[in-house]
Amino acid sequence: MDSRFGRKFQDDDSKVDQDVDFEVENYLQYKGEKFSEVFDANTYILMTKAMDGYDAAGKLNGLENALEGVTAELLIIGFYSDWLYPPQRGKEIQIAAMNNNIKSSYVVLEGEHGHDSFLFHNDQYSEIISKFIQS
Amino acid sequence: MAKKLTKIITAWVPKDSKVIDFGCGDGSLLKELMKTKKILGYGVEINNKKIEECIAKGVPVIKQDIDKGLHEFESSNFDVSIMARSIQCLKDPSLALNRMLKLSKRCVVTLPNLGYWKCRINLASGKMPVTPELPSSWYETENIHLCTIEDFESLCKKERIKIKDKVFLNSRGKQSTLVSMSPNLLATEGVYLLEKE
C-alpha cells in the first residue's frame, strides 16, 4: 500500500472526481465506478461478506480435521502483499497438512497486487507451479 | 564431503520416519532419504531459488527463516529433525537446538569446526580463517556463531542434551582414527546425533 499509493496526492488533470484528494481515493473511486457498470452492487456486497466469512475449517472443528483424508500433494502459495488471505493463513494450512502427514509445500512470494497477485504473471510464481506439476 | 555427510545421516534416520530438515538447501539430502529410507520429509528454506529446486525434485518445502518460528512445527510429531551446516548461521543456536529437540525425539546437527588446526594458524597469523569448509571472507560470511567441537559439546552438556552418537571428518571428508583421537584439532566437521536427556 505504501509503495503503491502512500500519501501521494492525485494530480488535478487525472482526477475522476473533483472531491478526490489522494491517489488511493482516486483509484478506489475509479474502480468503484467501473465495478458498478458491470456488477450488481448488492451482489458485490454479498460476495464480499461471503469472502470475509470464509473459513477453510468450516464446521469441521479445525483445519486439521478439514484436511483429514486428503490424498493429493499440496502446494500452498501466498503473497506478502495479500491482506485478504495473509501468508500466515497459508502457513496454518501447511501445518495442518503436516499434522495429517500430507506431502505439502508452502511458498510466499513478492507480489505488487495484493490479493489479486495470484491473477498476474510473475516468473517465479509460474516457475514454481510448473515445477510442482512436473515433479 | 556432502556424500559422506548424507551417508552418515542416512544411517541415523529410521525407515518410514517423519523428518524435517532446517536449511535444507536444494533438497538433495531429503530426496536421498525419501529414496533410501522411504521417509516423509519436509525441508525448511528461505532462498527462493533453492525452494524451486526442492519443488522440482518433488521434495516438500516450507519457506521460512529458521531463526524464526521453529516452535510452529511442534504439533507435527517429527521423528528426526536435521540441521546440516546451518546452526552457526543462527542468531540463537542454543534456543534452536532446544526447539528442535522439542519437535522431534532425535536431532542431527553438523557444524564446521573452528578449532581445526588450519583455522588456528589463520587466527594466529592475525586473519579470520578461510578454508574449503569456511570459504567466505569475514565480510561475506553468513556464519555468525562459529564454534569449536569442544564449544559445541560444552553447550550440549550445559543444555542437558545427550550426544547419542558423533562422527568427525577430516579435510578429505573421511573418518580416521587420528581425527577421532583429537577431533578439536584435526576435524574439519563434526556430525552429531542428539537426544534430550
B56: chain A residues, CB-CB within 8 Å: 131, 134-135
Radius of gyration for chain B, computed over Cα atoms and rounded to the nearest angstrom: 16
| pLDDT grade for B1, boundaries at 50, 70 and 90 | low
pLDDT in tens, A47-79: 889 988 888 887 778 899 999 989 999 999 999
Decide: B43 and B59 in contact? Cβ < 8 Å.
yes
Percent of chain B with pLDDT over 90: 85
Grid cell listed for B197 = 536427556
Q: Confirm if B89 and B142 have CB atoms less than 8 A apart.
A: yes
Question: pTM for this one?
Answer: 0.86
CA A4 to chain centre: 16
B149 grid coordinates: 567441537
Residue to mutate among A131, A132, A134, with most B CBs inside 10 A, is A131
Q: What is the mean pLDDT of chain B?
A: 93
Contact between chains at B62 and A94 (C-beta distance less than 8 A): yes
Q: What is the mean pLDDT of residues B55-84?
A: 92
Who contacts A60 (Cβ-Cβ below 8 Å, separation ≥6)? A66
Distance from CA of A63 to the nearest CA of B (A): 13
Mean pLDDT, chain A, rounded, equals 89
Chain B CB within 8 Å of residue A94 CB: yes
Q: Which positions in chain B touch A70 (Cβ < 8 Å)?
A: none
In this complex, the residue of B42, B55, B77 whose CB is nearest that of residue A128 is B55
Determine the average pLDDT of the residues in B136-163. Answer: 94
Checking if the pLDDT of A37 tops 80, the result is: yes
* A131 near B CB under 8 A: yes
Q: By the CB < 8 Å criterion, does A99 face chain B?
A: yes
Q: Crossing angle of helices B149-158/B93-103, nearest 10°?
A: 60
A99–B61 CB contact, under 8 Å: no
Predicted pLDDT at B115: 96
Residues of B within an 8 Å Cβ radius of A: 18, 40, 42, 48, 51-52, 54-58, 60-63, 72-73, 75-77
Q: Name the residue facing A105 among B18, B60, B72 (closest C-beta).
A: B60
Taking CA atoms, B49 is separated from A77, B3, B52, B56, B163, in Å, by 15, 22, 5, 11, 34
pLDDT at B19: 97
CA–CA dist A120, A86 (Å, integer): 17
Reduced to 3 states (helix: H, G, I; strand: E, B; else coil), residue A74 is strand
Has residue A39 got a pLDDT over 80? yes
Cβ–Cβ below 8 Å for A99 and B77 = yes
Residue B23 is predicted with a pLDDT of 93
pLDDT given for residue A114 in this prediction = 85
Whether B63 sits inside 8 A of A106 (CB atoms) is yes
Q: Cβ distance B51 to B63 under 8 Å? A: yes
Give me the mean pLDDT over the A90-99 stretch.
95
Q: Inter-chain contact A131–B56, Cβ cutoff 8 Å?
A: yes
Q: How far apart are the first and last CA of chain A?
A: 36
Q: Which chain A residues are Cβ-neighbours of B40 within 8 angstroms?
A: 101, 103
Q: What is the DSSP string of A11-65?
A: PGGG-SSTT--BHHHHHHHHHHHHHHHHS-HHHHHHHHHHHHT--TTTTSSSHHH
Confirm if B75 and B49 have CB atoms less than 8 A apart.
Answer: no
The answer to whether residue B42 scores a pLDDT higher than 70 is: yes
Highest-pLDDT range among B1-10, B111-120, B132-141: B111-120
Q: CA A113, CA B52: separation in Å to the nearest integer?
A: 22
Q: B159 vs chain A: nearest CA distance in angstroms?
A: 28
Q: CA–CA separation, A9 vs A20, rounded Å?
A: 9
pLDDT at A4: 73
CA distance B127 to B149: 20
